[in-house]
Amino acid sequence: MAKAARRVTSADVARAVGVSRTTVSFVLNDRPGQSIPEETRRRVLEAAQRLGYRPHAPARALAAGRSDIVLLSLHSMTQGPTVTSVVEGLAAALAARRLTLVLHLGGEGTRPLPDVCAAVAASAVLGLEPFDAATSAALYEAGADVVLPTETDSLADYQREVGRLQAEHLIARGHGRIGYATPGIALAEPIANERLRGVGQACAAAGLAPPVVLTVDLEADSAARAVAGWRQEGVSAVCAYSDEVAVAVLAGLRERGLAAPDDLAVVGVEDMPTARLAGPPLTTVAFDSHALGRELADAVLEALEGRRYGLAADARHFRLIPRSST
């Protein structure tokens, strides 16, 4: 068996260029405050690329006092096009800052997050929902310098803005009794509840009664029962937790021989590709998930540098896409 090629080091780059390892380190780590001639910088970068040099993570962590690893914790059930887009935006923004995103999918039978944090020597740990106090403490004990968001620093504003936009659209269309379709999944409750709060706030601001909340599983029978319940309560329009749940509500209408928007208007969230193919095409709330990823990256960098950071919903990131379902 052929012996594996030896890893290229900064010493190899230094020999190839004829400069010191310190100079190579300054160039490759983009150290500020160093007066390296532009020609030398160019030769170092070209040699590193030609030789196939890759930074040695433990050595970089030792020199910097922390690793360049940012650990993102997601539960497997949260995967979808919006979350994927957030992760893509976050990964790209972190890479531009010389940080590396590592994804941990939680769930039954998976390794505890603090153990993973310690194993990869993560400097920062991120989630799309707040970590409770016990988990935050365990992550800091595992070596993390930054844990975001915490119970006092949540992303709830983003979710409430989604619900507010849904309800305001329906209210502007003349609907005076609003329903809310929540999924029958316990793990979705934190996000669903925040979106529901946004719907409730919009209803209260318009002088309307609180929304009528019913659970809709991704089954036509479940959705049909919910449709019947809403009609009994005089509900004329429904804000759904997601596009998937909204499509289920449309199926429930068909089961009852009814249709949107005449019998019940329906608005979803995420603008999934299937939303425009639904029958009828689904009105939905879309948001710039790449922008959210960039904001998370900014918050991580600011927190790692000991600066104050902010995580607040920006109305410019959200837009309602009206279609035939409302």
Query: Where is 146: in which H helix or E strand?
Result: strand 146-150
Rounded Cα gap, residues 146 and 162, in angstroms: 27
The one-letter code for the residue type at 222 is S
**Alpha-carbon distances of 219 from 64, 125, 245, rounded to whole Å:** 53, 36, 9
Alpha helices in the chain (DSSP H): 10-17, 21-28, 38-51, 57-64, 81-96, 113-120, 133-141, 156-172, 189-205, 220-232, 243-255, 289-304
Q: How far apart are CA 116 and CA 98, in angstroms?
A: 21
Contact between 311 and 148 (Cβ < 8 Å): yes
Q: According to the model, what pLDDT value does residue 15 have?
A: 86
**What domains are there in the chain, each with its CATH number?**
10-55 (1.10.260.40), 69-155+290-312 (3.40.50.2300), 156-287 (3.40.50.2300)
The count of C-alpha atoms lying within 13 angstroms of the C-alpha of 104, restricted to the half-sphere facing its C-beta, is 26
Do 162 and 195 form a contact (C-beta atoms < 8 A)? Answer: yes
**Global pTM?**
0.72
pLDDT at site 80: 62
pLDDT for position 60 = 53
| Cis amide leading into 280 (omega within 30) | yes
pLDDT of the chain along its 326 residues, tens only? Answer: 344 456 677 788 888 888 887 887 777 766 666 678 888 888 888 888 888 776 655 555 445 556 789 999 887 555 566 777 788 888 888 888 888 899 888 777 788 899 998 888 888 998 877 788 888 889 999 889 888 876 665 567 778 889 999 999 999 999 999 999 999 887 778 788 989 999 999 999 999 999 999 999 888 899 999 999 999 999 999 999 999 999 999 999 999 999 999 999 999 998 888 899 998 999 999 987 777 788 888 888 888 888 776 666 566 778 899 999 99
